Amino acid sequence: MQRRTLLTSAAMALLFGKSAFAAAPAIEVFKDAQCGCCTGWIEHLQANGFAVTARNVDDTGVYRRRYGMPDTLGSCHTGRVAGYTIEGHVPAREIQQLLKQRPKAVGLAVPGMPMGSPGMEGKRNDAYDVLLVQADGRSTVYRHYPA
Ligand SMILES: [Cu+2]
């Protein structure tokens, strides 16, 4: 049984090629040129297999609004991946879960810049929520940290 599963995945890998299994999700990130913690977050995404295109902009709020994220949930950068908006220091793990589950939503947000979130590592690990944000601006807790 186990051998059969192995053979099947090997056959699938041959059929679909590496890209079907290890496709790096492409994310576009709008950030300020001076933002160090944004760069830290981008490195966290890259380390977790994302293909990041970073764009330095004067006002990330323009993109936040354009892509449906309420200003009240704002942070220092705004990302776009597979039609979803990712605001702030959202861990790669929740973005991957979002892309797997594909809920009807605007996207995910970590409002503000909580210490201990990816790109905001330091002496403290503050508690924070990853929010799943709906088109009407309402949100629910997608995951609480520290988990
Ligand atoms: Cu930040």
pLDDT in tens, 112-127: 999 999 999 998 999 9
* pTM of the entire predicted model: 0.85
Displacement of CA 3 from its chain's centroid (Å): 36
Surface-to-core class of residue 3, CB atoms within 10 Å of its CB (0-12 exposed, 13-18 middle, 19+ buried) = exposed
Domain that holds residue 63: 22-145
**Does a structural domain hold residue 5?**
no
CATH code for the domain of 84: 3.40.30
Q: What average pLDDT does the structure give for the chain?
A: 90
Which residue in the block uniquely carries the two structure tokens 């993109």?
63
Based on C-alpha coordinates, what's the Rg of the chain?
17
**Does a structural domain hold residue 11?**
no
pLDDT band at 1 (very low <50, low <70, confident <90, very high): very low
> Percent of the chain at pLDDT above 70?
85
| Domains held by the chain: number | 1
**Does a structural domain hold residue 65?**
yes
Q: Distance, CA 104 to ligand 1 centroid (Å)?
A: 26
Which residue in the block uniquely carries the two structure tokens 């809920």?
103
- What's residue 10's pLDDT? 53
Q: Distance, CA 92 to ligand 1 centroid (Å)?
A: 15
- What's residue 19's pLDDT? 46
Q: Which SS3 state, helix, strand or coil, does residue 78 take?
A: strand
Surface-to-core class of residue 127, CB atoms within 10 Å of its CB (0-12 exposed, 13-18 middle, 19+ buried) = exposed
Q: Distance, CA 136 to ligand 1 centroid (Å)?
A: 25
